[in-house]
Structure 1
Amino acid sequence: MTQFDHSRLSDFIDRKWDESVLPSLSEFIEIPALSPSFDPEWEENGYLDAAIETFISWIKSLSLERVSISVHRLKKRSPLLLVTINGDSEGEVLFYSHLDKQPEATGWSDGKGPWKAVVEDDWLFGRGSVDDGYGGYAGILSILGLQEQGISHPTCRFLIETGEESGSPDLELYLDELKSHLGTPDLVIVLDTGGMDYDRLWITQSLRGIVAGTLSVKVSSVGVHSGHGSGVMPSSFRLARQLLSRLEDENTGEILPEWLHSEISDDMKETSSKIIELKDGKIKDFPLLDGVKKQVENPLDIFLTMNLKPSLSVIGADGIPSIESAGNVLRTNTDLKISIRTPPGVDATKVARKVEALLEENPPNGAHVSAKMTEVANGFLAPDLPEKVASDLDAACVEFYGKPSMDLFIGGTIPVMAMLQSRYSNSKFIITGAGGPGGNAHGPDEKLHIPTAKKVTKCVSLAVKSFADYRRQNPI
């Protein structure tokens, strides 16, 4: 068996990033490959295709062995790229990333812009640099690093879509279309997250889900002068507020239904405590006005509430005129857009049905109430990696970062994670990436921390090697 050389891998990855990845990734940045939600004429504009072609050209410039490339196009669906590197050992690994981008945003620093690649110090600026253009490059390069030393690896497939920033509306269709080509991965690797610093590899263990939709409360067919009807006709706003109290304690913000909660394990609490210690007890500054207090004050409670507990937000309203145009009229209706973050492991579809029933049943004052949850996505809860793979990954982190990895719980939602986990329920997952403080994905001055991207590539390479070793020693 070929002896693996960590230093050789490190030098190779560093050199390839500098000489090969950065020039191609810079070319990618300059393409305004907006996700279809932000570019209705994406087909005519051809920018998504240009992004794919740029990535394919880079792959073809490499000395990869046993590689095949195919672009798939379902009618009226954004294209998807599938790259397969056939392995010479047991197992299958699926990498996921995306090439579509968020809109430009305003407020970029002087000399920088969304479609202008700028390398400054350790950073690569430009839209799509950290979200998620680098992901495919890092994944492919992690396998090339193994091949360069003659190290056996599993078959690795790279599923690279162009609709993630639009909510991945086409991915499920492509997963069905390509089912026979994708096989059944033992391991899924996603390079689209990051961590709380750049000092270690952060591995995402959970994401919250989301249940969002519209609560509509109607009380009359026309508006009525408040001098005539107030105190007699029920206020649709008061009734809407009353209905929300079925979900949330209006005094504390605590979510009331037990079915919206899940148990937070002792391991989760211990990991969260370690994260708090790393941050010296300080968890993210919130832009509260002077004198405004948080709903929870203890740093551990803040972290658990942000990432592992349910929450309710009212994010929009209809039926309420602006202050400038408001008359002394009892309004006919109040419509509220509500967004509920669900804990990892909770079935969001079941929650959506229960929320609708809870809000619609026994309407106060006989009001006409409808609750339609239209955005529903499960969270994500990572299964444990095989002990040897987890140990080898930690050793790689010590080798390349100088510190072991750290688990992370994230309060946001990435629908594609739940989609992949539902599809590949027996697979293991490694969700990580080069994102971190100051990366500013989606905003002005988006930027990739180049040294971290290199380290992530090296750690992923070692993880794939370890999984190959594990499968060889533990055949199915």
Structure 2
Amino acid sequence: MTPAPLLDTPALSRFVEEAWRERITPALVDYVAVPAKSPMFDPSWQAHGLIERVVRDAAAWVEARKVPGLTLEVVRIEGRTPVLFFEVAATKPASTQTVLMYGHLDKQPEFSGWRSDLGPWTPKIEAGKLYGRGGADDGYALYAAVSAVEALKAQGAAHPRIVGLIETCEESGSFDLPAYLDVLRPRLGDVGLVVCLDSGAGNYDQLWLTTNLRGNITGTLKVEILTEGIHSGDASGLVPSSFRILRQVLDRLEDARSGQLLPAGFHCEIPAHRVDEARATAAILGEAVWKNYPWACGADGGLALPTTDDPVEALLNRTWRPTLSVTGVDGMPSLANAGNVLRPYTAFKLSLRLPPLVEGHEAAVQLKALLEDNAPYNAKVTFEPDGRVGNWGATGWNAPGLAPWLRQAMDGASLRHFGAPLGYIGQGGTIPLMNLLQQGFPAAQMMVCGVLGPKSNAHGPNEFLHLEYATRLTAAVAEVIAAHP
């Protein structure tokens, strides 16, 4: 039996709908237009001032709301990306714990392939979706979080202490975040609930709770065989191709036919209850688990095929099994400029997703040794992981057991605002903060959710924010905070 709501549900819905229509969406339109790329993609971010602009715009928006009891500060550490920190005192009697709300304002780079009438920095609202880079991943988070608090205040609802932590380095692996957590830890208090708004949804029909996240190692693998390019007719057959050497090196890591990663250290045992959850989620989503992707036409005119069309295995593949992606390339001229030259080097940008229970830095050290040792033809092979030395890679996250109050609160909020029960789904992406917070606050409950549903395509072309889903999610978050014991 679902407990009665602590808030007036119709009034809450009206409040958040007005907030999104009148205040949040216009602010996000302005936000999308700013190419505030994460520092990994814009090393001159300080000089360009774009991260500073979105931080100042967001701070001004929050301060203009004049939410009772809310204070906001832009926290700065020299040489690091800034953090927005807000705090709201508790109004619930005898409440001693803190609710921590999290999001980020930095963005992925443009990428190519945008629809002709869309672009990463040209916001457009169409069919209830806000297109452009960063709105869904996850510039909306601060605005939704503050509006959820404001909705509680509008009803005079009692709530625990609430703090907000909005970073600007997440898309670079959050390498600046540990320093801020050290500084802010005394101000965080006893965190009893984390509300992270940077995750995804299996569909747009119900509230989805993220149960686990993969880790990630990114870095550049470079193979050098010459100091300059040589006429291919003169050198090929004698000088080995840097691309062929790179292929041999990658064969140490991946079975090219199946995509399975070979080193045992990059795998972990999947907990039985996560397999059971995958079965339940597959029963809800069915073939949509793999059919929602933008498949190209295959050689016979039919669609290209996934690695598996079994929905359960598909979910486990993208959330619990390690996978290699090549996300960039250097050392290759464009097709239009590709002369008959044996190139001196080939470099690939690698993204290696790790299972939730594999430690990120240790895996990065293992990966570097695997790729660099005993290079074919004595070529110069280097793998340079991204991040700060000694802190390579991001460790994934597996959610702690769910407290009955939180399960009931989220399920009830989903039923009231979506008309369907709470769904549970693992995500293949990475949120470095979650592992850090679970280590720092092992007893805290975790509400990890977000708006990245089917075809929202964060990081890629035509990214969009589903406005109605985000509105309902905001109302659900307010209800869960009100239910915090």
Q: TM-score, normalised by structure 1?
A: 0.83
Is the CA contact (8 Å cut-off) linking 1:215 and 1:336 kept in structure 2?
yes
Distance in 2 between residues matched to 1:15 and 1:425, nearest whole Å: 37
The separation in 2 between residues aligned to 1:57 and 1:104, in whole angstroms, is 26
Aligned-residue offset at 1:309: 0.6
The alignment status of 1:51 with 2:63, answered yes or no, reads: no
SS of equivalent residue, structure 1 residue 249:
coil
Moved more, 199-208 or 28-37: 28-37
Structure 2 letter corresponding to 1:158:
G
Structure 1 residue 85, shift from structure 2 partner: 0.6
Of 171, 178, 192, which residue of structure 2 is paired with 1:172?
178
Question: Structure 2 matches for 1:225-374, cutoff 5 A?
Answer: 240-282=246-288, 283-284=290-291, 285=293, 286-287=295-296, 289-290=298-299, 294-315=306-327, 324-327=338-341, 337-360=349-372, 371-374=383-386
- Distance (Å, rounded) in 2 between the aligned partners of 1:218 and 1:120: 47
- Counterpart of 1:85 in structure 2 is 88
Identity of matched residues, %: 37
When Rg is computed on C-alpha atoms for both structures, the one with the higher figure is 1
Aligned CA RMSD, in angstroms, stands at 3.6
Match of 1:133 in 2: 139
| Structure 1: distance between partners of 2:159 and 2:348 | 52
CA separation of 1:287 and 1:13: change in aligned 2, threshold 3 A? same
Query: Does 2:430 align with 1:413?
Result: yes
Alpha-carbon separation, structure 2, partners of 1:225 and 1:46? 44
Of residues 79-88 and 336-345 in structure 1, the stretch that sits farther from structure 2 once superposed is 336-345
Matched, 1:71 2:88: no
**Take 1:46 and 1:221, find their aligned partners in 2: how far apart are those partners?**
37
Correspondences of 1:159-238 after superposition (within 5 Å): 159-215=165-221
What is residue 148 of structure 2 aligned with on the other side? 142
The Cα of 1:458 is off from its aligned counterpart by 1.3
Bigger shift: 261-270 or 444-453?
444-453
Corresponding position: 1:400 with 2:417: yes
* 1:160–1:250 Cα change, 3 Å: closer
Query: 2:390 maps to which residue?
Result: none
Which residue of structure 2 aligns with residue 153 of structure 1? 159
Contact 2:106 2:134 in 1 (8 A): yes
Matched residue, 2:445: 428
Q: Is the 8 A contact 2:6 2:483 kept in 1?
A: no
Instruction: For residues 171-222 of structure 1, give each alpha carbon's deviation from its aligned partner in whole angstroms, at most 9, with x where no partner exists.
Output: 2222223232223422211112221321011222222112244555677899
Report the alpha carbon displacement of residue 336 of structure 1 after superposing the two structures with TM. 5.1
Q: Does 1:25 align with 2:31?
A: no
Aligned 8 A contact 1:209 1:342 in 2:
yes
Identify if the C-alpha distance between structure 1 residues 299 and 235 changes in structure 2 by more than 3 Å, giving closer, same or farther. same
The match for 1:5 among 4, 8, 25 is 8
Instruction: Give the deviation of 1:345 after TM superposition.
Output: 1.2
Instruction: Give the conservation status (yes or no) of the 8 Å contact 1:13–1:457.
Output: yes
TM-superposed CA distance for 1:321, in Å, is 7.8
* Cα deviations by residue, 1:97-123 (Å, 9 ceiling, x for unpaired): 12233455674564x665555544433
More deviation, 129-138/168-177? 168-177
Which runs of no fewer than 5 residues in structure 2 stay unpaired? 388-392
State the match for 1:472 in structure 2.
none
Q: What letter is aligned with 1:465? A: A
SS of residue paired to 2:191: coil
Q: Relative to structure 1, is the Cα distance of residues 321 and 427 closer, same or farther in structure 2, using a 3 angstrom cutoff?
A: same
* Bigger shift: residues 174-183 or 81-90: 174-183
Question: Quick check: 1:62 aligned with 2:65?
Answer: yes
SS at match of 2:446: strand
User: What SS does the corresponding residue of 2:65 show, helix, strand or coil?
Assistant: coil
SS at structure 2 position matched to 1:378: coil
Q: Structure 1 residue 377 and structure 2 residue 380: aligned? A: no
Q: Given the two structures, how large is their TM-score scaled by the length of structure 2?
A: 0.81
Give the stretch that moved more between structures: 265-274 or 39-48: 39-48
Amino acid in the other structure paired with 2:355? P
Distance 1:280 1:86, change over 3 A: same
Residues 1:462 and 1:333: Cα distance change in structure 2 (over 3 Å): same
Greater CA deviation, 281-290 or 388-397? 281-290
- Which whole-Å deviations, capped at 9, do the CAs of 1:276-314 have from their partners, x for residues lacking one? 333332413433632565544434323322221112344
SS in 1 for 2:68: coil
CA deviations 1:228-251 (Å, max 9, x no partner) are 998898776666544434333344
Gap change, CA 1:222 and 1:264, over 3 Å in 2: same
Matched residues in 1 for 2:462 and 2:438: separation?
A: 32
Which range moves more in the overlay, 186-195 or 250-259? Answer: 250-259
CA deviations 1:122-146 (Å, max 9, x no partner) are 3334444323222111111222222
Contact 2:97 2:189 in 1 (8 A): no
Between 1:99-108 and 1:411-420, the stretch displaced more is 99-108
Alignment-derived partner of residue 474 in structure 1? none
